[in-house]
Amino acid sequence: MEFDPNCMAIAIGSLPHEDVGYAIELIRRYLPEAPIWPQLPKLGLNESMMIQYTQGMPCVKIDRERCKAYFDTSSDGYLDEVSARLGMALDGNYGEFGITKDYARGFYAFKDSYTADFPEGVKLLKGHVTGPISLGLSLHDENGRSILYNEEFKDVVIRSLAMKAKWQVSELSKIGNNAPVMIFFDEPYLTQIGTPFISIQRDEAIEMLDTCLDEVDGVKGIHVCGNTDWSLVTSTHTDIINFDAYAFPQSLSLYPDDIKAFFDRGGMIAWGITPSSVEIAHEDAKSILGKLENAVDLLCDTGFDKKRVLSRSFISPSCGTGSLSIEHAQRVFKINYEVSCAIKKKYF
């Protein structure tokens, strides 16, 4: 699916709310074109970023006293469980990898709200999954080793996440007369690829990401809330790059050839220009708009047409708002929407 987003406002998944209805109201107000279903980590451990998507994975254990999940590979029959789940994933049986309401209350509240009252201006529905590299490095086996380094287990984790993305597309596409769906894979650990801290090769990282991206029958994106090797990200099958343009405005301008090739194949950029931090208290729409124009100009100075770049752009917060106060989260969403409206008015 190729289209021009023309700087529409989007957001990353997490919000700090415990009142699900209030979270949905915020999304309706400030994401009129591309609403998201809200991840609500303050509702409990099940909805935390690294646990929410483990449901249905083989051998997963949740230690609620220590607030963490891990994979127990110590039992004699664990390989049988791994093989069975991998077979389901390879067969494309995504229904077996769905997320139930006790792991994603925001998802079901979003579906109910938008099924009952679907706004005319909606152009996309956005879902999200923790990416395979970040989840696979964050979660460990019973011995404290990252599960991504377990060759017997790695593939089932990656393909389970791919099926969860596929399941979301199926569920969300039922809303609003088959509205197009956009899925982001959230990959904070991509900032560590190429460092001594992670022994994952570039080609291996691309293969893991593409395994997930290729299961998305819709628009697909990769969100990285930091700096990384953007030539790696543009080498994947992603449609959208979402980066922290507030803290790293020059990031993409360091990769002009890669970004040109990315644009030429229909790629889009989500400028994470609205800070998802307490810095939002010191910003307003005017100041963020100036920072956005500066970041875009840095890229355009390497040989890009500004109007074309903006036509292929979304406006987003730099990351999720789940760790902020409700007041600050609301300010992030409000300013992000106002910046989107202002840049549209100026250029479109």
Residue 52 inside a domain? The answer is yes
User: Which positions ≥6 away from 46 have C-beta within 8 Å?
Assistant: 52, 55, 62, 102, 103
Using an 8 Å Cβ cutoff, are 102 and 46 in contact?
yes
Distance CA 160, CA 278 (A): 35
Percentage helix, strand, coil, to 5, in the chain? 45, 15, 40
Q: Which two tokens stand for residue 129?
A: 């999954």
Using an 8 Å Cβ cutoff, are 58 and 145 in contact?
no
Using an 8 Å Cβ cutoff, are 245 and 318 in contact?
yes
Residue 189 has phi, psi (to 5 degrees) of: -75, -5
Residue 1 inside a domain? The answer is no
Distance CA 57, CA 111 (A): 24
Residue 197: its pLDDT value, please? 83
Distance CA 74, CA 311 (A): 52
Residue 75: its pLDDT value, please? 84
Q: Which domain holds residue 330?
A: 8-347
Distance CA 270, CA 242 (A): 4
Q: Which two tokens stand for residue 198?
A: 């992670």
Residue 126 inside a domain? The answer is yes
Q: Which two tokens stand for residue 210?
A: 């593409």
Residue 94 inside a domain? The answer is yes
User: Which positions ≥6 away from 17 have C-beta within 8 Å?
Assistant: 23, 26, 38, 40, 42, 326, 329
Pairing relationship of beta strands 68-71 and 60-63 according to DSSP bridges: antiparallel
Q: Residue 176's domain is classified under what CATH number?
A: 3.20.20.210
Residue 245 inside a domain? The answer is yes
pTM of this structure: 0.96
Alpha helices in the chain (DSSP H): 20-30, 78-90, 105-116, 132-138, 151-172, 202-213, 230-234, 256-264, 285-300, 306-311, 326-347
Q: Is 269 helix (H, G, I), strand (E, B) or coil?
A: strand
Using an 8 Å Cβ cutoff, are 322 and 14 in contact?
yes
CA distances from 76 to 72, 73, 141, 145, 293 (A): 11, 8, 15, 19, 58
How many domains is the chain partitioned into structurally? 1
Using an 8 Å Cβ cutoff, are 5 and 347 in contact?
no
Residue 115 one-letter amino acid: T
Distance CA 119, CA 227 (A): 35
Residue 3 inside a domain? The answer is no
Walking along the chain (348 residues) 10 residues at a time, the average pLDDT comes out as 90 97 98 98 94 93 91 88 92 94 98 96 96 96 94 92 97 87 96 87 96 97 95 98 98 97 97 98 98 98 98 98 98 98 98
Residue 1: its pLDDT value, please? 61
Residue 179: its pLDDT value, please? 82
